[in-house]
Amino acid sequence: VSITRPLGFRAAATTAGLKPSGKPDLALIVCDDPEAGSPAPARGRKHLIEARRSAAAVFTNSAVVGAPVQIGRQWRDAAVHGGAALRAILVNSGRANAATGQPGIEDARACMRCVGKHLGCDPGQVLPSSTGVIGQRLPVEQITAAVPALVAALARGEDADAAAARAIMTTDLVPKMAHREIELLHHQVHIGAIAKGSGMIAPRLDSAGAPAHATLLAFITTNVAIEPPALQRALEQACRESFERISVDAHPSCSDTVVAIASGANPMRPIHEDMPEFHGFRAALTGVCQSLADQVIRDGEGATRTFRVIVRGARTGDEAQRIARAVVDSPLVKCAIHGNDPNWGRIVTAAGNAAAPFDPETASLTIGGVEVYRAGVPTGVDPSDRALRAAMGAERVEVVLTVGAGQASGWMIGCDLSAEYVRINAEYTT
């Protein structure tokens, strides 16, 4: 179970015919009355619940963004200032509705209106989200024709969660789901999530205030009651420690979107940033996002193995992060990982290209705990050394690079580059 485990949520998925493969391509996640399952919820209670709902989102910070991201940013900026929380998320795969200009915006709005009508809510409370081929219009009629049955099929439970997770996949081989449960203020808080992402993955996400990139889509649900600014802040911090730490191909997408909706169905006092419970919630949310990010990098296009690069001794966290990113994004390093090849010179030189200080005097490099480079010179470990070969052959290769005498550190997780990656991406639209 994932997104419908927290009370207040229902989900459904269907096939609207957007993918040549004919696989499911349309999902709907709805934050309803917590008693949505019951035949006739009392009117007063419904209003109370709506007031307790909150939502937050982060999007790609690319200069070129899809229509759903443009609409989402507008909603988010209003929501942070007390605007209405989201009621539903309509997600399609197959078409990204990006590089489609104003007609793309109109297409998305037509879908929002259709969902709003069938759910009986303001279209502005429906967030559209799209992933797939860029530069092609959405087949609005196919989508709107599918909406009535989609709404009718809304349900809770494993089947609904799994169907939604599958419908948002593009080149993903496996669906991605996560769930955490914690106790806050003597109440059981559930956080559920689904995500998709395999290629065009190098998320750098913006924030509600100033902009920051990722086609990663992740949708998070929780029954917690939380103030909107606190939810937004918790989500941004969770993304920094998860999705922004992975890169499949160094190519952020125009559609990256992470959305969290809190139903407020839990009869607890709403959490705000100054409460100690905020940190507990944020940690659990980070755990959910890290689980999803890990599932995404493992399912990176063509990936057979992953590797984590930890950078220590940098002057600032930003410099450490920049160095770690330069290493995980080097095609030469990625190929060495693919070939179980302890060609560590590629790691050191990739770090040297990150436009951050690198002091050989205090530098060192270990692979799976085996030190291969120290104080600017090789330690003399033979490439055929048994421990080094074992370290290079691990499912996740662990690289620790110290670059100087500073105190700051950072990390990124990447995946290997395989011939399969080339096959997938040389044949994507043709």
Which are the catalytic amino acids? 215
Q: Please identify, using beta-carbon distances, which residue of 14 and 418 lies nearer to a second copy.
A: 418
Cβ pair 47, 121 in contact under 8 A? no
- Pick from 240, 223, 244, 260: which is nearest to 76 by CA? 260
The Cα-based distances of 148 to 143, 152, 285 in angstroms read 10, 6, 32
What string marks each residue from 47 to 76 as x (binds a second copy by CB under 8 A) or -? ---------------xxxx-----------
Q: In this chain, which of 80, 182, 310, 332 binds a second copy, going by CB under 8 A?
A: 332
Give the CA count within 13 Å in the CB-facing half-sphere of 292.
35
Q: In this chain, which of 336, 367, 388, 397 binds a second copy, going by CB under 8 A?
A: 336
Which tokens hold the place of 256? 């990256």
What is the residue-wise DSSP string for 64-78? S--HHHHHHHHHHHH
Q: What residues have CB less than 8 Å from 406, skipping those under 6 apart? A: 313, 314, 315, 316, 319, 357
Which 9-48 positions form the footprint of a second copy (CB under 8 A)? Answer: none
- SS3 for 199? coil
- Pick from 364, 246, 222, 370: which is nearest to 296 by CA? 246
Q: Please identify, using beta-carbon distances, which residue of 267 and 383 lies nearer to a second copy.
A: 383
Q: In this chain, which of 59, 303, 329, 388 binds a second copy, going by CB under 8 A?
A: 329
Cβ pair 171, 199 in contact under 8 A? yes
Look-up of token digits 């001794």 = 313
In angstroms, give the least distance from the CB of 112 to a second copy: 20
In angstroms, give the least distance from the CB of 275 to a second copy: 37
Which 401-420 positions form the footprint of a second copy (CB under 8 A)? Answer: 417-419
210 binds a second copy (CB under 8 A): no
The window from 2-10, 82-90, 92-100, 121-129 that contacts a second copy (CB under 8 A) reads 92-100
Which 240-279 positions form the footprint of a second copy (CB under 8 A)? Answer: 249-254
- SS3 for 95? strand
Which 112-171 positions form the footprint of a second copy (CB under 8 A)? Answer: 133-137
Which 339-368 positions form the footprint of a second copy (CB under 8 A)? Answer: 339-346, 348-358, 360
> Given the DSSP bridges, would you call strands 377-378 and 396-402 parallel, antiparallel or unpaired?
unpaired
196 binds a second copy (CB under 8 A): no
Q: In this chain, which of 331, 369, 390, 407 binds a second copy, going by CB under 8 A?
A: 331
**What sign for the dihedral angle of Cα 225, 229, 230, 234?**
positive
The window from 97-105, 143-151, 185-193, 283-291 that contacts a second copy (CB under 8 A) reads 97-105
The Cα-based distances of 279 to 55, 222, 231, 233 in angstroms read 18, 15, 11, 11
Amino acid identity of residue 410, one-letter, is: G
Q: In this chain, which of 157, 369, 383, 393 binds a second copy, going by CB under 8 A?
A: 383
Residues near a second copy (CB under 8 A), total: 73
Which tokens hold the place of 39? 């035949």
Q: Please identify, using beta-carbon distances, which residue of 74 and 353 lies nearer to a second copy.
A: 353
Q: What residues have CB less than 8 Å from 166, skipping those under 6 apart? A: 13, 23, 24, 175
In angstroms, give the least distance from the CB of 99 to a second copy: 5
Q: Please identify, using beta-carbon distances, which residue of 40 and 426 lies nearer to a second copy.
A: 426
Q: Please identify, using beta-carbon distances, which residue of 19 and 190 lies nearer to a second copy.
A: 19
In angstroms, give the least distance from the CB of 60 to a second copy: 9
